[in-house]
Chain A
Amino acid sequence: MTEEMERDENVFLMGEEVAQYNGAYKVSEGMLAKFGPRRVFDTPISEAAFSGLGVGAATMGLRPIIEFMSWSFTLVCLDQIVNNAANVRYMSGGQYKVPIVFRGGNGIAHQLGATHSHRVETIYARIPGLIVVSPSTAYDAKGLLKSSIRCNDPVIFLESEKMLNETSEVPDDPEFLLPLGVANVEREGSEVTVVSYGRTMQRVTRAAVKSLVDEGVDVELIDLRTLRPLDTATLVQSIQKTGRCVIVDEDYGYCGMGQAIMASVYKRVFDYLDAPIAHVHSDEIPVPFNHYLEEAMMPSEERVIAAVKDVCYR
C-alpha cells in the first residue's frame, strides 16, 4: 500500500483504526506518520457510511483503499458495494469509474464466533462489475494488491487475519505486479487437479497435497488467486489433462464458491472426467466458537486426502 501511495497521490487509506492505532491488525503500521492524516484516516464504526464515502471518492477520481476489520461486517454495507460500487460504471454508461479496493479479513479466523466468521466470497463473486481476489501467500498478496490498487474497477480483496503473520519471499521491486484473473499452477501433475485459494490453500490444501505426492499421487495443484473473473481456461486445461478434480475451500457447500467453480467448468470437462468433481468444504452449520468444534467443521488435511483418493479410486 505504501509503495502505491508513494507512486500515486490519489491513493489513500481509510477504515476503522487504520490511522491512530496503526491498524486493528497493525497492517497500516507507520503509514499515518508517513503520509499524514489527509491520506490515512480513521472512520467511525459505520461500514455503510465509509464505504459509501469511498465509492463517492472513487467516482470523483481518487483511488481509495478501504480496510474492513472483518468482511463479516460488510453485510451492513452491501448496498454500497453491490448496488453502487459494482454498478456505477455500467449505469453511467462508462462516464464514471470506481477504482476502489475493499480489503480485510475474510472467513473463519479462530474463535471469532458465528457472526464474525462469514466467508463472503460468493456474495461478491456473483456480482458482475466486481473483481474478487484471494491471495494465499505474502508474495501473492503484494503482487495482487498492487494490481488491485491500479485497477479501475472495484476490487474485493479477501485476506485472512490468520495469515497476516505468514511470511514468504516478497520482491522489493515496486513494479512487481501479479495479473488479476489468472490462476497459478503451483505444482504440475497428471493424475488429479486440486483447486483451492486463500487461507484454505495455506491452512490445509498444500500440506494435504504434499502428503499425497509423497504417497505417489501425482497431483496438479492450482491456486485460483482471483475468484472473479475465474480463470476457467487454466482449470479446464488442467482437468482435461488429469480427468479428476477436487475443489477445496472453507465456504459452505451449498451455494458455495466450490459449487460455483464446479458449475463453471463442468460442461467443458465432462467428457474428460473419470470421476465426478469432488468438493471439500465446511460443514453446513453456524461457525462454532469452541476451538475444537470450529476446527472440526472446516476442511482438514484428512478430508482433502480422502476426497482426492476417492476420485482417484485409490
Chain B
Amino acid sequence: MPSEITMPQLSDTMTEGTVVKWYKKEGEKVKSGEKVADVETDKAVMEMESFDSGTIAVILAPEGSKVPVGGSIAVVASAKEDPGEVKKRYASGAPKKAPATSAQIKAEIRDPLSIEAEPASLGDPHKKEPATASVATIAPPKAGGNGHGSNGGRIFASPLARRIAEENGLELASITGSGPGGRIIQRDVLGFKRGARSGAAISGSSPEGDSQRTKAAADLRSFAPKVASGEKTVTAMTKMRQTIANRLQQSMQTLPHFYETVDIDIESLVGLRERVNKSLEKSGVRLSVGDFVAKAVAMTLLKHPSLNSHYNGQTAEVTSYGDVNLGMAVALENGLIVPVLRNIDKMGLAEIRARSADLVDRARAQKLKQDEMTGATFTVSNLGTHGIRQFTAIINPPEVAILAVGAAEKRAVVRGDAIVARTIMSVTLSSDHRVVDGAAAADFLKTLRALLEEPGMMLV
C-alpha cells in the first residue's frame, strides 16, 4: 500500500505549511529518514524527512503551494508497487487513505489554533517532539522591508557591510544603517551581530551591554526619516509576525490577566555578582543580573508549582510540573521568539549563562531546533537592558504566568526614617486568574523577592 507524505506540524501554532523546495522528483527513490523537502512554517524553514522507503510516485503539492497540516503533499510507492500505477490512481482523484504518520495523528487530535486544546500528552514539556524535522540551515526568511521602503525597496549599504552580512547570513533588511542617508556600514552589521548576543532577554546587564548602548547611539545618530514625509509604506506581515499577532491577541482576549508588581532591593545581589564575576574573570564567565533572576525564578517556581503549570481549558485540568523549563523572550528585529532553557532548576549560574547565551544567539540567527522553542512552563521577559523601569507582559498559553523584569537602577528609597539610594529592580507578574489567585501570585513574588534580596538563600 502506498504511503502519503503529509504536512507535519512543526510547531505548536502551525496550521499550514508552504512547500519551499523539493529534493526529490517523481520517480526518484527515497529512504526512510531521508530529506525530501523544505517546508516553511510560521516560524522557520524546516527540512522534512520521509517516514517510508520507496519511490516518490506523485508529488501532490508543487513548490510554493500551501498545504494545511496533515494534508498530503506526496505519495511514496513501496518496493512492491508500481509507482506509475500509484500515480495514475492519485491522478484520477481517488487518493487512498494512507497509514497515518505520527505527525498526522498529532494534527488530527488537536486544533492548533485553540489554545485550550493543548492535549496533556503533547503539552508535556519533557517529551521531545517526534523527530519529524530538523532545522534547515537556510537563509532566514525574507523579511518584508524594514523602513527601507522609502528607497523604493533599495537598501543602501557599504560594500563591506554587504559582504559581512552575507558571510554571517544576516539579512540587511533587518539592520538599521547609521551612515549618511541611512547607509548600513560595517559598524551596524557588527553591532547587529553582537546585539544578537547582548539582546538576551534574560541577560540583564551582560558584558555586551556596551554594544547595546553603541547600537542605541547609532540609532540616535540616524535621524533620516524611515518613511519620507508624504509617503507611506505597506508591508506584508511575515509569517512570524502573523503568528505573534494571533497568539497574543488570543491570549489577551481569552485569559483574564491580572498583575502584581514588587520592587526588589538587589543591592547585595549586585555586590555578590561583582565579587563572583571577579573570581570568574579568568574563566571568561561573566554572570548577568538576569542570570541570577532566572535562577531565583526557577527556585521560586519549585516552591510554587501552581505557577509552573499548564492549563487545559477543554479538560479543565491544570498540569503542574516538577521541573522548570524557562522561556526567555528574545526580541528579533521584526518579531519575538521564546527559546526555552530546559531544566534550568538543575543548573548552576555558569551553566545558565552559557546555555542562555547560546540559545539567544541561535534564536537571533533563527537556528533554534523545534524542541528549543516549545515546552516552556513559565516565561521571563526582561526589558531591563532597554532601560524600562516596569512593564506588564502577556502570558504565553498554556502557561499560566509570566514575569516582566525591569531595569536595575539606583532609586531613592526609605530605610527606617532616612532616604537612601539603593539598587532597585521592579518585577511584574502577570497571572491567569482562571488558575492563579492574587494571594498565590503574591506568595510567589514574596519568595522571589526574598531570594533576590538575600541571594545567599539560594544556597539553602
A residues near B, CB below 8 A?
243, 270-275, 313
* Minimal beta-carbon separation of A242 from chain B (angstroms): 10
Of the residues B162, B163, B185, contact of A313 by C-beta under 8 Å: B185
- Docked CA distance A272–B159 (Å): 6
B179 touches A275 (CB 8 A): yes
> A243-B158, A270-B159, A275-B185 given. 7 additional CB < 8 A pairs?
A243-B160, A271-B162, A272-B159, A273-B160, A274-B158, A274-B161, A274-B187
Contact with A along B147-176 (1 / 0, CB 8 A): 000000000001111110000000000000
Q: Which residues of A contact B161 (CB under 8 A)?
A: 274
28 contacts between A and B (CB under 8 A): A243-B158, A243-B160, A243-B186, A270-B159, A271-B159, A271-B160, A271-B162, A271-B163, A272-B159, A272-B160, A272-B163, A273-B158, A273-B159, A273-B160, A274-B158, A274-B159, A274-B160, A274-B161, A274-B185, A274-B186, A274-B187, A275-B158, A275-B179, A275-B185, A313-B178, A313-B179, A313-B185, A313-B187
Q: Which residues of B contact A275 (CB under 8 A)?
A: 158, 179, 185
Q: Which residues of B contact A243 (CB under 8 A)?
A: 158, 160, 186
* B 432-459 contacts with A by CB, 8 A: none
* Minimal beta-carbon separation of A272 from chain B (angstroms): 6
- Docked CA distance A275–B158 (Å): 6
A-B contact count (CB 8 A): 28
- Docked CA distance A178–B187 (Å): 39
- Docked CA distance A289–B162 (Å): 48
- Docked CA distance A274–B188 (Å): 11
- Which one of B178, B185, B187 has the highest number of Cβ atoms from chain A below 10 Å of its Cβ? B185
- Docked CA distance A275–B180 (Å): 10
* B 49-70 contacts with A by CB, 8 A: none
Q: Which residues of B contact A313 (CB under 8 A)?
A: 178-179, 185, 187
Q: Which residues of B contact A273 (CB under 8 A)?
A: 158-160
- Docked CA distance A272–B161 (Å): 8
- Docked CA distance A275–B160 (Å): 8
Q: Which residues of A contact B178 (CB under 8 A)?
A: 313
Q: Which residues of A contact B186 (CB under 8 A)?
A: 243, 274
- Docked CA distance A240–B185 (Å): 15
- Docked CA distance A272–B167 (Å): 13
Nearest-CB residue, chain B, relative to A276: B158
Nearest-CB residue, chain A, relative to B218: A313
A-B complex: 6 closest residue pairs judged by Cβ atoms: A274-B160, A274-B186, A274-B158, A243-B160, A271-B159, A273-B159
* Minimal beta-carbon separation of B256 from chain A (angstroms): 50
- Docked CA distance A124–B187 (Å): 40
- Docked CA distance A272–B178 (Å): 18
* Minimal beta-carbon separation of A176 from chain B (angstroms): 40
* B 179-209 contacts with A by CB, 8 A: 179, 185-187
Nearest-CB residue, chain B, relative to A312: B187
- Docked CA distance A274–B178 (Å): 12
- Docked CA distance A177–B178 (Å): 48
- Docked CA distance A270–B163 (Å): 11
- Docked CA distance A271–B162 (Å): 8
- Docked CA distance A140–B327 (Å): 66
Q: Which residues of B contact A270 (CB under 8 A)?
A: 159
- Docked CA distance A273–B163 (Å): 10
- Docked CA distance A313–B159 (Å): 15
Nearest-CB residue, chain A, relative to B161: A274
* Minimal beta-carbon separation of A96 from chain B (angstroms): 47
Nearest-CB residue, chain A, relative to B188: A313
- Docked CA distance A275–B185 (Å): 8
Q: Which residues of A contact B162 (CB under 8 A)?
A: 271
- Docked CA distance A271–B165 (Å): 12
* Minimal beta-carbon separation of A221 from chain B (angstroms): 20
Q: Which residues of A contact B158 (CB under 8 A)?
A: 243, 273-275
- Docked CA distance A243–B185 (Å): 10
